[in-house]
Structure 1
Amino acid sequence: MLKGRDPRIDFFRGLALIFIFWDHVPHNPLGQITLRNFGFSDAAEVFVFLAGYACVLAYGKILQGEGYWMASLKILRRAWVLYVVHIFLLAMLMGIVFFANSKVETRDLVQEMGLTHFITNPQQALTDELLLRFKPNLMDPLPLYIVLLLGLPLVLPLLLRKPLAVVAASMTVYLLAPRLGWNLAAIADGVWYFNPVTWQFLFILGGAAAVHASQPRAPDTRPLHRQPVFIAAATYTLLAAVITLSWRWPEIHDAVMPAVISDLLYPISKTDLSPARLLHFLALAYVTAKLLPGRAWTQNWLARQSCRMGRYSLEVFCLGVLLAPLADMLNAQVNDAWPMQIFSALLGLMLMAALAAWLEFNKHLDASRQRQWVAGR
């Protein structure tokens, strides 16, 4: 039987939302401390993996308790909600970007946000929006999530019973997709920036991790320095951090990086989820899970704020998408002075946390009214 909600999942999902927001505000100093600066993967991998984990936990319990068709119906209903949110979010984003662009004289925010297609061909852009072919910057994760969610009913029953078989099939598709050119069509470069055919593997791995975590097993009581898998994962994570930091100084990187390793490592494709990125995320996730066992650490005040944001990830993500161009506009008004950049980044974070707190308050208020109504009957 699958376990209930895990606050650690909410914490890291909330942290990923913060990183996504900071990473998409140009020249933001706080963007220098996000995950992408210390390894091959970034917050996108965290978001997709945890989406798979959370979806299998939630809909797997529904399947076990209410049956396959009810679980499938709720999955498809959620996918429809995400699709409608995507359409409205894109319309709001375009309005904000056009407004911000009228206030900024030094840069073309419409071009930077990938909205030129709407200016040059609005009728086709509307059609492409409905078909998920038109995805401006910041909007890519939501269509990816929609497609992955639509595929979940096809694999969920087998994933709960035979997770290794589903992982093996998913890995086969992941390895074949880049070689055979499997991807979905889009405007601009012609394919989705996040290739669902490859990123589905990370989503499935998240789901398999949820199934694995629900199974009883004896903990490994050996010290971490005597666990070979931990040592290998920590070593790879450290090497990835060193290589990523060396990109800041190309001359040093080219001088110390052996040609053999360089040929094997590059290019590190985000579109097709390069094996280097995938292995880095998995290694980082394993090391983090070993260093932060249990759930007690999620009870401190800062961790609870991130957990709350993670519980309302859709709403907080949408707000972050809308805040990013506004923060960029504020920064551009003062020629990207670093005090304003830090202020706008922290202000956006506080607004995202405030939205999560408001949603939590309304949820408790509705629950209280429900209890009062039941008691008064």
Structure 2
Amino acid sequence: MRSLIRLDRDLRVDIVRGFALWAIFVNHTPGNVMGAVTPRNYTLSDATEAFVLLAGYAAGLAYGIVMDRQGWFFAASRVLGRVFTLYVAHIFLLVVFTAQVGFSAERLDAAAYLDELHLDPFGADPYRALLEALLLRYQPSFLNILPLYIVVLAMFALAMPLMRRPWLMLGLSAALWLVAREMGLSLPSWRGEDWFFNPLAWQLLFFIGCALGYRPPGGRPIVLPWRRWAGALCWLLLAAGAALTVLIHFQWDFTLARLPAFAPWLAAIDKASLHPLRLATMLALTYLIAHLVSRDAAWLRSDPGLLLALLGQQALPVFCAGIALSFLGRLALEASDAWWMQAVVNLLGAAALVALAVLTAWYGAEKRAPRRPSTPGLPAGAPADRG
């Protein structure tokens, strides 16, 4: 397995992304006890913020090199090719997820699944629902992260040259985020609701990642040096966020009863349009990890670290599989919530994600490997006679 992991990359990025993908699987499985150790329970940000920020980092690093070597047009065409891949993956996941939820709802006589996961339009108006899903104007629950990624990556294809002027890019991105939040701007949806993740707001986190990932030729990338006071502020923000998270998710009745004037402000810490506290929390975590975890730390290359890195390096198939498996895990936990079922769901779920990552990495390595000569009797590695 180690041979399938690209060790020349910054493993901190891959490990954090792998952990985020595992957390997405766990958090989308209701009743999973492992949800207690995921970041949403002790920070104001969660796996989604990490996923979007690191997607931007990877885009800035990879496509920035292509742009500087082969020009913006070619790089933009590569980005749009990735957009198409994400779109196909989203539609495939939509079909699989809808089929398994619909089949389960029929066999178990549990129509509540369709209502809860916003799949009821497929029963009332299936043809229109399918059309709107293809247009990304209809997004059932759990199927709203890839549409966000598709839109911000398409925006990146147009804005890519601005990476050479990162502060201008970040200023324009922050202005769009602020306008979207203050004016309630979002993309239209079929049934009148706003997108669960507003791309006009979440693009800021993506473009921050782009700015951090881009390596200008002959220039200096954006580096925020370590300052003790900045680190102290980050820890203070995380501690305050942990306290607010407890009040919001675990002590809401206490908050309403004892802090009635404070409750509306807490309730306004929204995820849809990337509340400033959620954004600040993700940036604080990024700053601390970047400076307190050495890029050459030995534990990054330990077996657990490499398992997470492998998941992070095969993010798209692992994400899709995690969403599909999460509903199967839900069905299992609803059948039995015993400790052994919790163990089966989590162990088999994690094993399936790792197995898929291994298979995808192996297939990618085989595609990149030099082709062997097809001439009969020619020794492996010997040049074929082209005369």
Output the TM-score relative to the length of structure 2: 0.88
CA distance in 2, matches of 1:269, 1:217: 29
Structure 1 residue 252, shift from structure 2 partner: 4.3
Asked if 2 retains the 8 angstrom alpha-carbon contact of 1:22 and 1:30, the reply is yes
Segment of structure 1 superposing worse, 165-174 or 343-352: 343-352
Alignment of 1:10-89 (within 5 A): 10-89=14-93
Alignment of 1:121-136 (within 5 A): 121-136=125-140
> Structure 2 stretches of 5 or more lacking a match?
1-7, 375-379
- Seq. identity, %: 34
Q: Which residue of 2 aligns with 1:178?
A: 181
Q: Which residue of 2 aligns with 1:137?
A: 141
CA displacement, residues 34-58 of structure 1 (integer Å, 9 cap, x when unaligned): 1111111110000000000001111
Segment of structure 1 superposing worse, 358-367 or 23-32: 358-367
Matched, 1:339 2:340: yes
Letter in 1 for 2:181: P
Q: Which residue of 1 aligns with 2:3?
A: none
CA distance in 2, matches of 1:212, 1:8: 17
CA displacement, residues 8-59 of structure 1 (integer Å, 9 cap, x when unaligned): 2111111110001100011111111111111111100000000000011111
CA distance in 2, matches of 1:73, 1:118: 34
CA distance in 2, matches of 1:218, 1:203: 17
Structure-2 change in CA distance of 1:157 and 1:30 (3 Å): same
Structure 1 residue 211, shift from structure 2 partner: 3.0
Q: Which residue of 2 aligns with 1:272?
A: 273
Structure 1 residue 359, shift from structure 2 partner: 1.7
Q: Which residue of 2 aligns with 1:117?
A: 121
Asked if 2 retains the 8 angstrom alpha-carbon contact of 1:106 and 1:332, the reply is no
CA distance in 1, matches of 2:22, 2:306: 14
CA distance in 2, matches of 1:205, 1:90: 29
CA displacement, residues 208-248 of structure 1 (integer Å, 9 cap, x when unaligned): 11137983799957xxxx71000001111011112212341
CA displacement, residues 57-97 of structure 1 (integer Å, 9 cap, x when unaligned): 11101001111111011111111111112112211111111
Alignment of 1:1-377 (within 5 A): 5-105=9-109, 108-159=112-163, 161-188=164-191, 190-211=193-214, 215=220, 227-246=228-247, 247-254=249-256, 259=261, 264-296=265-297, 297-334=299-336, 336-368=337-369, 370=371, 375-376=381-382, 377=384
Structure 1 residue 108, shift from structure 2 partner: 2.5
Letter in 2 for 1:170: S
Segment of structure 1 superposing worse, 204-213 or 13-22: 204-213
Letter in 2 for 1:242: A
Structure 1 residue 103, shift from structure 2 partner: 4.3
CA displacement, residues 166-192 of structure 1 (integer Å, 9 cap, x when unaligned): 101110111111222210112345211
Segment of structure 1 superposing worse, 5-14 or 38-47: 5-14
Letter in 1 for 2:348: L
Structure-2 change in CA distance of 1:255 and 1:229 (3 Å): farther
CA distance in 1, matches of 2:181, 2:240: 25
Asked if 1 retains the 8 angstrom alpha-carbon contact of 2:10 and 2:295, the reply is no
Asked if 1 retains the 8 angstrom alpha-carbon contact of 2:214 and 2:221, the reply is no
Asked if 2 retains the 8 angstrom alpha-carbon contact of 1:100 and 1:325, the reply is no
Structure 1 residue 263, shift from structure 2 partner: 5.3
More helix per residue? 1
SS of residue paired to 2:139: coil
CA distance in 1, matches of 2:45, 2:223: 31
Letter in 2 for 1:172: A
Structure-2 change in CA distance of 1:176 and 1:76 (3 Å): same
Q: Which residue of 1 aligns with 2:4?
A: none
Asked if 2 retains the 8 angstrom alpha-carbon contact of 1:104 and 1:333, the reply is no
Structure 1 residue 107, shift from structure 2 partner: 6.8
> Structure 1 stretches of 5 or more lacking a match?
none
CA displacement, residues 115-149 of structure 1 (integer Å, 9 cap, x when unaligned): 11111110110110111012111111101111111
CA distance in 1, matches of 2:271, 2:131: 26
CA distance in 1, matches of 2:123, 2:194: 20
Letter in 2 for 1:157: P
Segment of structure 1 superposing worse, 290-299 or 309-318: 290-299
Structure 1 residue 254, shift from structure 2 partner: 5.0
Asked if 1 retains the 8 angstrom alpha-carbon contact of 2:237 and 2:281, the reply is yes
Letter in 1 for 2:345: S
CA displacement, residues 234-286 of structure 1 (integer Å, 9 cap, x when unaligned): 11101111221234123544577594x65554411111111111111111221
CA distance in 1, matches of 2:92, 2:252: 42
